Amino acid sequence: MSFATLGLSAPLLRAVDEQGYDTPTPVQIKAIPAILAGRDVMAAAQTGTGKTAGFTLPLLDRLMKGSSAQPNQARVLILAPTRELAIQVCDSVISYGRHLPLRAVVVYGGVKINPQMMKMRKGVDVLVATPGRLLDLYQQNAIRFKQLEMLVLDEADRMLDLGFLPDIRKILALLPGKRQNLMFSATFSDEIRDLARGLLNNPVEISTSPRNTTAKTVRQWICPVDKKQKPALLLELLRVQRWGQVLVFTKTREGANKLTQFLTAEGVRATAIHGDKSQVARSKALADFRNGVVQILVATDVAARGLDIEQLPQVVNFDLPKVAEDYIHRIGRTGRAGASGEAVSLVSADEFPFLCSVEQLIGQVLPRKLIDGFEPVHDVPQSRTSQRPLKPKKPKKPKQGNSNVQTVARQRGNEGKRLQKTAAMKKTGAGKPGHNQPAKQENDQRERSAVSADGNQSPRRPAPPFGRTPGR
């Protein structure tokens, strides 16, 4: 199967060729013809499947046919949950559209709004936006949707996790009724399906990997260890396994900072990326990691979501994620587009409920490996997966308090309901309204707070010849 058979126009095929893509990925094979035919699409696709090109190439193709955007109008709106993802998607739009006379702009919170308002004046063919900033721009009369032809919701599950549903509903109410809608999500919870029902019109459903499964190309294993030993174990693994570049996930921003300081003190080149960092600092951290200036990028889930770091062989879960589905997103950073990768989770006894949730979600028990000198005093019990709900045992004598357990309530779907019933949940009262505030706060902060620096420059690709407005 070649791209030429999918019905794309010559300028797009040329751009694809210049990217070095020989064969379309499964999601591209299904999505591109459907979108070219004007159909609504609902696709279950993780990052790493080539989904961005899957929707960008055909939407650019369709844009070639219409009339250009009038002042303050957008013809395509792509909504993304985080500014990093928004920047990446816009970079892809610009890259794939380099031979087309189209204009793409990205807008997101955390930077001054005025330059973004100026960019909207000429009108844009493709507007990539985070929801909060888009609404701000609308309130300032900087953007109108009279000419809107197409809406894309990228990483819809993440948008809901971040509490964007009210913003999305507000945005939908502003759009013309006659438009093409595309929705991409790594997972399809009932909540996402509800949203899809109200949004999509007789959609083509695309599922390229079974629901909630992890990339087959990723070798996954866990390393049981006592909590306090985790930093030293990470160092040991870096040494013994001779890892090159590693993306390390921590549960909290404080944890990310502490681990980065520890690694740096041990002579390892490391940097952190999370919601407390300014846009400039985040872009620099990402650029330094991409360019190999640092070996280790320590990230929180929100900051790392959707980051496209090519050919990343190694992901480490320093902490297991609070939300089991984040495990899938995290390890989606490796083993991309057919490349092989490895994902290692350092699991302490108090994280056993999270381990159960992850194993239940991915439908497999993760292999374990004990590292000499790091055998845990506090055992991580063996879990099992089955179709029946798991009853996680309480961890044996966890050293630390059970503060981690509070966050279990953020588990979604059946898994979340099941875990909410556990004794641990009762104890903490998690699962009550507002339990997902931390994620929302991190996002709100990114979306609303102004930082003095512009920070608009994407670190990744050199400025392409078309479309990108100065300072983007």
- The residue ranges that bind ligand AMP (CB under 6 A) are 21, 23-25, 28, 47-53, 308, 310, 336-337
- For residue 425, the minimal CB distance to ligand AMP (Å) is 34
The residue (of 310 and 372) whose beta carbon lies closer to ligand AMP is: 310
Least Å from the CB of residue 28 to ligand AMP: 6
Tell me the residue type at 182: L
27 versus 425: smaller Cβ distance to ligand AMP:
27
* 25 vs 406 by CB, closer to ligand AMP: 25
Q: Which is nearer to ligand AMP, 88 or 428 (CB)?
A: 88
Closest separation between CB of residue 412 and ligand AMP, Å?
22
Give whichever of 322 and 333 is closer to ligand AMP, judged by the CB atom: 333
Nearer of residues 307 and 347 to ligand AMP, judged by Cβ: 307
Q: How far is the CB of 25 from ligand AMP (least distance, A)?
A: 5
CB of 278 to ligand AMP, least distance (A): 25
In the complex, least distance from residue 308 CB atom to ligand AMP, rounded to whole angstroms: 5
Gap between the Cα atoms of 472 and 343, Å rounded: 34
Report the residue number, 28 or 411, with the smaller CB distance to ligand AMP: 28
Neighbours of 370 (CB within 10 A): 11
In the complex, least distance from residue 257 CB atom to ligand AMP, rounded to whole angstroms: 27
Measured from the CB of residue 139, what is the shortest distance to ligand AMP in angstroms? Answer: 31
Q: Pick between residue 48 and residue 132 the one whose CB is nearest to ligand AMP.
A: 48
- Backbone φ and ψ for 60, nearest 5 degrees, come out as -65, -40
Residues with Cβ < 8 Å from 122, sequence gap 6 or more?
69, 71, 103
Q: Integer distance in angstroms from the first to the last C-alpha of the chain?
A: 36
